[in-house]
Amino acid sequence: MEFFTRGCNTLNITFNWIRTEKNIKMKIKDFFIGFENGSKDFGEHIAVIINSVLLSIVYFLGVGGTSIIAKIFGKHFLDLKMRRKDSYWSELNLTKRPLEEYYRQF
């Protein structure tokens, strides 16, 4: 009878060890799933912040700098002045050129 109970205890310890090992595996799996989801969320949030900051800097330096330089030199990119004209077409100045210029365009 003593042998039988010892065997049951060993069997019981083995089952407990298997259950504990499964619990550890599940905890590790849950940890890595949570870590993966957290990393994705962190990456998405950081990407939004960095893109917003970088695009704002590029906009203010690029567009703002161009605007300031254009105002200093008096450049107007759009012709917004109201003038009384018969036609608003721009002159292309298409004149006859020598045939040699057409062959050597570059």
> Does 97 have pLDDT greater than 90?
no
Q: How far is it, in rounded angstroms, from Cα 76 to Cα 66?
A: 11
> Does 14 have pLDDT greater than 70?
no
pLDDT digits (tens, 9 = 90+) for 50-96: 999 999 999 999 999 999 999 999 888 887 777 777 776 777 777 77
> Does 30 have pLDDT greater than 80?
yes
Q: What pLDDT does 106 receive?
A: 67
91 vs 37 pLDDT, higher one: 37
Residues 6+ apart with CB under 8 A from 3: none
Q: Is residue 70 within 8 Å of residue 77, measured between CB atoms? A: yes
What residue spans define the domains of the chain?
Answer: 2-78
Q: What pLDDT does 53 receive?
A: 95
